[in-house]
């Protein structure tokens, strides 16, 4: 009898229950032999899947609901039964007679549920008090963990399963000593490196089910909201973008705001803007808001919330929802999709999405170049493994703007927007070679995890939200950067200088952010307890940082004056020759 079960049953007896009801899978998935567990699971779960399929058809339940149960519940049970050994099985069900007999309780054969009653001679046993053991967590030498990650990446590039296995074990051991941001980040990187090693083996890689397939839409939306709530940088982006829109629309009577932020969209941004319009000298304009998002429920709730607030403020307001993602829009018919009307002033806001338009099928190119630079990459990573310092990336900018982004920016230019606000991750995760992306991502996400850890530490009740964001938002970004190639790699973050190049080539000119926009952004950062120096001004754009690491950039753009898209004098935002901070 396993000690945990003995302890549990002893505790249950001590409670002196009148009856104990037990429901268990009636199968033997607890055998020591993998062959027997596999055969038992195959027969058992084959019948169970058939029964679920029949029940879903009989009760007319959505196929998506059945599929979700199969993936998130039964799929995890199967993995637990087949993949784990020792103290980590997820399913160890066995015929219940063994449990009942071992403790003097008989099985009731007529019932599916077992009714276990403690024998009379147990009634006088004193109740047992259990206390969790206090373990000395100690401290982890971070100088060991970072080099271990670099060494593991080098083994992955070599294709050495044996060396990678040793490195992954070392990373897991070092990461389990304390629960810190670097330790949690290291586990995500270790998972990505393990998957990366399997990528060349198409059968293995294709058979793996991606963890994001298990995310319920409601849970994913909750994680997105937590990301917005916890991140001082997203809040800063909202207020900076709103101020730039207000200034560009100072005298406009009809304003059409197009929110292309998709998964980063949040009603909080536009609630604040409605109040700012309400206080505008001369009265508020008529406001139209178009939001692109792939969650219909989110859009419906957002529409209700903003419409009610606009009614209270007596602002003429229209809301249009567009179901989809930025990269799935029909750029050849963008005007009709967004329902642009003649004479309205247009402002476009796009936060943390435009990098998805850098999509390119570069896997073939990467394969050819990769063989030539493989040894150099391995040597570089091994050199990093012997040092605790952050690497200097050897990244080179893309030589041309991808066709998808060019098509989008041409369509946007044709809309003649007064202003376009762009917020993006300020990092180069779009390098062709895995080695470069790995080094850049490790440095970037270490800083980002630190920032979330600091915000959550100030409010311990936010720890669960922080964990959800790390796992479902940031963790999935990391895996996409490190594991995927070609058209499957969507997280192609680039630096501000590269975005300036793309915008210039596509017929856009830079609009300097005003003193007030930058001041409001820095003030919002300080409201989260961050130093105003975490907001840096570079080329009249705002860079949001954690320490010396750039995390996000905020910039403003408009079609070139005199371009084929046309422009109007009132679109101009006067450049600031010198930005003077609030404390200067």
| Structure tokens, 177 | 């000593």
Task: Give residues with Cβ within 8 angstroms of 29, minimum separation 6.
Answer: 37, 40, 41, 44, 81, 89, 91, 92, 93, 94
Helix, strand, coil % over all residues of the chain, rounded to 5? 55, 10, 35
What are the domain boundaries of the chain? 3-122, 142-208+362-392+433-486, 231-360+402-426+493-584
Return the exposure string of 456-493: e unless at least 16 CB atoms fall within 10 Å of the residue's CB, then b. beeeeebeebbbbbbbbbbbbbbbbbbbbbeeebbbbb
Q: What is the pLDDT of residue 88?
A: 57
Angle made by CA atoms 163, 165, 166, in degrees to the nearest 5: 65
pLDDT tens, per residue, the chain with 584 residues: 888 888 888 888 888 898 988 888 888 888 777 767 767 777 787 778 778 777 777 777 777 677 777 777 877 787 777 666 666 555 555 444 444 444 444 443 433 333 333 334 333 333 322 222 223 333 445 678 999 999 999 999 999 999 999 999 999 999 887 788 999 999 999 999 999 998 877 676 566 666 666 677 788 888 999 999 999 999 999 999 999 999 999 999 999 999 999 999 999 999 999 999 999 998 999 999 999 999 999 999 999 999 999 999 999 999 999 999 999 999 999 999 999 999 999 999 999 999 999 988 765 555 554 554 555 556 656 665 655 433 333 334 445 889 999 999 999 999 999 999 999 999 999 998 899 999 999 999 999 999 999 888 888 888 889 999 999 999 999 999 999 988 889 999 999 999 999 999 999 999 999 999 999 999 999 988 887 778 899 999 999 999 899 999 999 999 997 654 434 333 333 333 333 333 44
Task: Please check whether residue 154 is in contact with residue 426, taking contact to mean a CB–CB distance below 8 angstroms.
Answer: no
For the question of whether the overall pTM of this predicted structure is more than 0.95, the answer is no
Q: How open is the CA angle 137-140-142, to the nearest 5 degrees?
A: 160
CA distances from 292 to 14, 95, 263, 295, 520 (A): 58, 53, 9, 9, 26
CA 476 to chain centre: 5
Q: Greatest CA span in the chain, whole angstroms?
A: 95
| Residue 393, CA atoms < 13 Å, CB-side half-sphere | 22
How many Cα atoms sit within 13 Å of 201 on the Cβ side? 14
CA distance 153 to 9: 46
Determine the pLDDT at residue 87. Answer: 60
Helices 434-457, 181-198: inter-axial angle, 10-degree rounding: 150
Contact 457, 189 (CB under 8 A): no
Instruction: Provide the pLDDT for residue 14.
Output: 87
Q: Which residues have C-beta within 8 Å of that of residue 219, sequence separation ≥ 6?
A: 468, 472
Q: What is the dihedral of CA 554, 558, 561, 562, to 10 degrees?
A: 140
CB-side exposure of 43: number of CA atoms within 13 Å?
9
Torsion of CA 332, 338, 340, 346, to 10 degrees: -100
CB 515 within 8 A of CB 459: no
* Cα–Cα dist 293/81, whole Å: 38
**Under 8 Å between Cβ of 199 and 210:** no
Rounded to whole angstroms, what are the CA distances from 153 to 193, 290, 365, 392, 447?
A: 7, 43, 21, 16, 20
- Neighbouring CB atoms inside 10 A of 392's CB total 9
- Establish how many alpha carbons lie within 13 A of residue 351's alpha carbon, considering only the half-sphere containing its beta carbon: 24
Domain boundaries 231-360+402-426+493-584, corresponding CATH code: 3.40.50.150
Joined together, the tokens standing for residue 578 give 């010198």
> For residue 200, with 0-12 CB atoms within 10 Å meaning exposed, 13-18 middle and 19 or more buried, which class applies?
exposed
Token digits of residue 501: 């190049």
Whole-angstrom distance, CA of residue 213 vs CA of residue 132: 35
Query: Tokens 């952004």 sit at which residue?
Result: 521
CB neighbours of residue 579 within 10 Å? 15
User: How many C-beta atoms lie closer than 10 Å to residue 265's C-beta?
Assistant: 23
């Amino acid at each position: 009898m396993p000690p945990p079960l003995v302890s549990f049953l002893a505790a249950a007896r001590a409670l002196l229950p009148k009856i104990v009801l037990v429901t268990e899978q009636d199968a033997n998935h607890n055998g020591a032999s993998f062959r027997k567990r596999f055969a038992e699971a195959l027969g058992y779960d084959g019948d169970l899947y058939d029964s679920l399929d029949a029940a879903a058809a009989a009760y007319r339940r959505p196929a998506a609901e059945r599929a979700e149960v199969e993936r998130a519940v039964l799929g995890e049970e199967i993995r637990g039964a087949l993949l784990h050994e020792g103290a980590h099985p997820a399913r160890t069900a066995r015929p219940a007679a063994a449990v009942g007999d071992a403790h003097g309780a008989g099985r009731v054969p007529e019932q599916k549920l077992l009714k276990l009653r403690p024998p009379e001679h147990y009634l006088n046993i004193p109740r047992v008090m259990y206390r969790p053991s206090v373990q000395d967590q100690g401290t982890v030498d971070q100088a060991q963990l970072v080099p271990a990650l670099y060494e593991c990446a080098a083994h992955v590039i070599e294709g050495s399963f044996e060396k990678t296995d040793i490195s992954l074990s070392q990373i897991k051991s070092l990461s389990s000593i304390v629960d810190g941001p670097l330790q949690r980040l290291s586990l995500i990187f270790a998972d990505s490196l393990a998957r990366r090693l399997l990528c060349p083996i198409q059968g293995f890689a294709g058979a793996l089910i991606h963890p994001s397939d298990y995310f319920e839409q409601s849970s994913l939306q909750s994680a997105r909201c937590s990301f917005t709530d916890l991140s001082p940088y997203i809040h800063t982006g909202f207020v900076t973008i709103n101020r730039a829109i207000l200034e560009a629309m100072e005298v406009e009577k009809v304003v059409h705001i197009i929110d292309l932020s998709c998964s980063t969209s949040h009603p909080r941004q536009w609630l604040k803007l409605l109040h700012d319009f309400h206080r505008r000298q001369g009265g508020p304009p008529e406001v139209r808001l178009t939001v692109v998002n792939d969650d219909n429920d989110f859009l419906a709730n957002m529409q209700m919330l903003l419409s009610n607030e606009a009614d209270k403020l007596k602002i003429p307001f229209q809301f249009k929802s567009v179901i989809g993602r930025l990269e799935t829009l029909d750029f050849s018919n963008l005007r009709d999709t967004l329902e642009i009307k003649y004479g309205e002033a247009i402002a476009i806001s796009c936060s943390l999405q435009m990098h998805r338009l850098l999509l390119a099928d570069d896997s073939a190119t990467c394969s050819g170049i990769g063989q030539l630079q493989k040894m150099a990459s391995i040597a570089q990573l091994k050199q990093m493994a012997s040092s605790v310092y952050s690497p200097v990336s050897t990244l080179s900018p893309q030589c041309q703007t991808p066709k998808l982004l060019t098509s989008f920016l041409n369509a946007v230019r044709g809309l003649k927007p007064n202003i376009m606000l762009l917020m993006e991750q300020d990092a180069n995760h779009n390098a062709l070679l895995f080695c470069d992306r790995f080094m850049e991502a490790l440095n970037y996400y270490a800083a980002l995890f630190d920032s979330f850890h600091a915000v959550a530490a100030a409010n311990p009740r936010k720890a669960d939200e922080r964990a959800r964001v790390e796992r479902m938002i940031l963790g999935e970004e990391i895996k996409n950067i490190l594991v995927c190639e070609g058209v499957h790699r969507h997280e192609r973050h680039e630096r501000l200088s590269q975005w300036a190049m793309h915008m210039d080539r596509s017929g856009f000119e830079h609009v300097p952010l005003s003193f007030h926009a930058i001041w409001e952004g820095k003030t919002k950062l300080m409201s989260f307890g961050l130093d105003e120096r975490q907001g840096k001004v570079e080329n009249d754009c705002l860079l949001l940082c954690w320490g010396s690491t750039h995390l996000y950039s905020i910039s403003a753009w408009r079609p070139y004056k005199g371009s084929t898209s046309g422009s109007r004098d009132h679109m101009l935002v006067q450049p600031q020759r010198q930005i003077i901070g609030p404390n200067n």
